């Protein structure tokens, strides 16, 4: 499968605890990973970053019906498929409407009684689904399943889910709009441009600090983390002479 290119609509980098996760997704793009690999890693990062997101899946809608494009665990896939077979469930409604659909306690849920029973039987105590944003339609939903205690995603967690959902939506929309040749060209342009800036900044730091390339890159990365900024932004500032050591 061809790698997908980064378009102009990628969400802005987050601050705080999601920075490392976001930067990792960006690195996967520059390394030419496939769409499936990027989306799978995205679900794993959601599970690691959002409190209570024990298993995560990504539902994608299409002409042949919904499917699970990526997941962080088998229980999430199983519950997704249960909803697809029934034609009803929170992940499907979230995908259709592009909104948040919550099931805060599967033991007490009445609206999605069939899903709740299946989830409770599998040890899932609550779920949270967010429809992916898109200009014309919602191509799917990001689904979080909690297996510890019945609880809802808090405000901070919801903001993180929105960030990851935006990233997933851009990836899917760009993949649909671009042909293989265009995706390769877009990726190469982005990768070469970013790599050239980082390499140039690494060389400048090597001269300033009298160190090798590995150490120079580590210093750049450490500065980016300390300033809560993307590595590319720090490298660009070094090249332009904005930041002196």
pLDDT tens digit sequence for 49-64: 888 889 999 999 888 8
| Contact (CB, 8 A) for 79 and 119 | yes
Structure tokens at 145: 């399943």
Looking at the structure of the chain, the number of domains it has is 2
Same domain, 189 and 102: no
pLDDT tens digit sequence for 117-162: 999 999 999 999 999 886 545 579 999 999 877 777 878 788 888 8
Residue of 115, 128, 141 whose CA lies nearest to 60: 141
Angle at 10 between CA 135 and CA 79, to 5 degrees: 70
Same domain, 162 and 235: no
CA distance 53 to 145: 6
The predicted structure's pLDDT at residue 5: 36
In the chain, % helix, strand, coil (3-state, to 5) comes to: 55, 10, 30
Q: Which residues pair with 221 in a beta bridge?
A: none
pTM given for the model: 0.65
What residues contact residue 35 under an 8 Å CB cut-off, 6+ apart? 1, 3, 4, 171, 172, 175
Same domain, 154 and 187: no
Q: Which residue, 178, 195, 213, sits at the end of a domain?
A: 178
Helix (H) or strand (E) holding 240: none
What b/e readout covers 233-243, taking b as 16+ CB neighbours within 10 angstroms? ebbbbbbeeee
CA distance 20 to 132: 22
pLDDT tens digit sequence for 5-39: 333 344 444 455 556 666 667 666 656 667 888 88
Count CA within 13 A, CB hemisphere, residue 7: 17
Same domain, 229 and 213: yes
Same domain, 54 and 106: yes
Same domain, 45 and 154: yes
The predicted structure's pLDDT at residue 220: 84
Residue 245 banded pLDDT, cuts 50, 70, 90: very low
pLDDT tens digit sequence for 171-217: 777 666 555 555 454 544 454 456 667 778 888 888 888 888 888 88
| Contact (CB, 8 A) for 140 and 95 | yes
The predicted structure's pLDDT at residue 63: 84
Q: Cα 213 to chain center, whole Å?
A: 30
Quick check: helix, strand or coil at residue 32? coil
Q: Which residue, 178, 202, 227, sits at the end of a domain?
A: 178
For residue 135, give its domain range.
16-178
The predicted structure's pLDDT at residue 81: 96
Select, from the ranges 163-167, 191-195, 231-235, the one with the highest average predicted confidence (pLDDT).
163-167
């Amino acid at each position: 499968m061809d790698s997908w290119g980064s378009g102009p609509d990628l969400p802005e980098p987050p601050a705080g605890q999601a920075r490392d996760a976001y930067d990792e997704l960006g690195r996967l793009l520059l390394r030419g990973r496939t769409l499936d690999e990027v989306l799978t890693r995205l679900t794993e990062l959601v599970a690691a970053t959002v409190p209570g997101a024990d298993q995560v899946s990504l539902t994608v809608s299409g002409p042949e019906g919904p499917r699970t494009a990526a997941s962080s665990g088998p229980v999430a896939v199983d519950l997704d498929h249960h909803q697809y077979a029934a034609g009803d469930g929170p992940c499907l409604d979230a995908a259709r409407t592009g909104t948040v659909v919550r099931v805060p306690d599967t033991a007490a849920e009445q609206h999605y009684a069939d899903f709740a029973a299946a989830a409770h039987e599998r040890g899932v105590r609550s779920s949270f689904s967010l429809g992916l944003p898109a200009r014309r339609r919602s191509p799917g939903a990001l689904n979080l399943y909690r297996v510890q205690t019945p609880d809802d995603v808090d405000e901070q967690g919801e903001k993180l889910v929105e960030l990851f959902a935006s990233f997933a939506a851009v990836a899917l929309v760009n993949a649909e709009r671009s042909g293989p040749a265009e995706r390769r060209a877009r990726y190469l342009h982005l990768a070469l441009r970013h790599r050239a800036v980082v390499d140039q900044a690494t060389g400048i730091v090597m001269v300033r600090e009298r160190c090798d390339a590995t150490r120079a890159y580590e210093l750049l990365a450490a500065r980016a983390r300390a300033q809560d900024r993307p590595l590319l932004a720090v490298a660009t500032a070094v090249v332009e002479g904005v930041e002196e050591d």
